[in-house]
Amino acid sequence: MSLLEVKNLKVHFPVKHGLFSRVHAYVKAVDDVSLTIEPGETLGLVGESGCGKTTLGRAIIRLIEPTSGQVIFNGEDITALRGSDLRQRRRGFQMIFQDPYGSLNPRMTVEQIIGEAIDIHKLAETPAARRARINELLQAVGLNTTHAQRYPHEFSGGQRQRIGIARALAVEPRLIVCDEPVSALDVSVQAQIINLLMDLQQQRGLTYLFIAHDLAVVEHISRRVMVMYLGKVVEIAEAKELVRSPKHPYTEALLSAVPVVDPVSKRKRIVLPGDVPSPINPPPGCNFHPRCPKVMDICKVEMPPLREISPGHWVACHVAQNEAGLKPLSESPATPVVL
């Protein structure tokens, strides 16, 4: 059984203007996203800023209320849970945030930060057990037990991120949503945190949803990778497969845009024209068609569905689906809706 199953999740934010705050339009930050994560696996989630990857991560652990759709965690639908029920279930899924400076309360000591989670879920019966638990967590993330009495400002960025990881681990979660956990860190420290996350996963059987914009980092840590563009999933595949043979033109461009250290392996770079369009008023048909180098007529009219073109490799692209020999779902392409 999958640990996490997300079905047709939508998060639409209303855009309000004017005197009476009338709703003019919706930002479709996450638009009909479905995914599953198996126990012990890491699913990578990549995309550019504004593609909805953080919103998706937050909606899954109910920090943002989804507009519609279902989040099924460990066989139980958590989308409708409220109050103490939800708080209880939250023990199973935690989050690590991007900004190690903003996500720790500057007025609390490390012991208080980690202890708060232990107190809320009543995981320690005596003060001694609580202290022992905190010390054990600090050691697990590579910090010193003497650090417990210090405040966040006394630590470097990498150490703060370790505190954030210890806080997430305090309640023994099964799923951790890592939202850009290394992008605010120095290059030489990033590798330490990535190695730590992978070690902890092995020791504790954790499951990660790993959100990042750096494809090389995501490929390194994930078993499968999901690519998002403008609120929609455009491609899901095994990490190695996605990097070796990307099928969606957006994934191809994203991969080719990653600067490569190795001067010998100069690949042809695909430079996409233009910017990511506004999610308030996305282009008709395929969201990506105005920037797509392979655009066909049908792309301007019909949104391609996400379909499996080879085992485990899902793509939402008419071109890739044609090449894979899939027949269009509807024989007569839908006529454009004139507004």
Site for other proteins in 200-219 (CB under 8 A): 213-217, 219
Sole window of 15-23, 236-244, 281-289, 325-333 interacting with other proteins (rule: CB under 8 A): 236-244
The structure tokens listed for 107 are 């007025």
Is the separation of the CB atoms in 25 and 59 below 8 Å? Answer: no
Cα–Cα distance, 313 to 316 (Å, whole number):
10
The residue from 123, 124, 140, 276 that contacts other proteins (CB under 8 A) is 276
> Judged by CB under 8 A, does residue 255 bind other proteins?
yes
Note whether 269 binds other proteins by CB under 8 A: yes
Per CB under 8 A, the list member of 159, 251, 287, 321 interacting with other proteins is 159
- 324 lies in the site for other proteins, by CB under 8 A: no
Distance CA 323, CA 156 (A): 50
Residue 186 in the binding site for other proteins (CB under 8 A) = yes
Stretch that binds other proteins, among 33-41, 62-70, 90-98, 156-164 (CB under 8 A): 156-164
Identify the three-state secondary structure at position 233. Answer: strand
CA distances from 284 to 14, 280, 294 (A): 20, 12, 16
> At its nearest, how many Å lie between other proteins and the CB of residue 33?
20
Residue 329 identity:
L
| Of 141, 139, 207, 137, the residue nearest 178 (C-alpha) | 207
Give me the least distance between CB of 247 and other proteins, in Å please: 16
Q: How far apart are CA 69 and CA 78, in angstroms?
A: 11
Binding positions for other proteins, rule: CB under 8 A? 48-49, 156, 158-159, 186-192, 194-195, 198, 213-217, 219-220, 240, 243-244, 253-264, 269, 271-272, 275-276
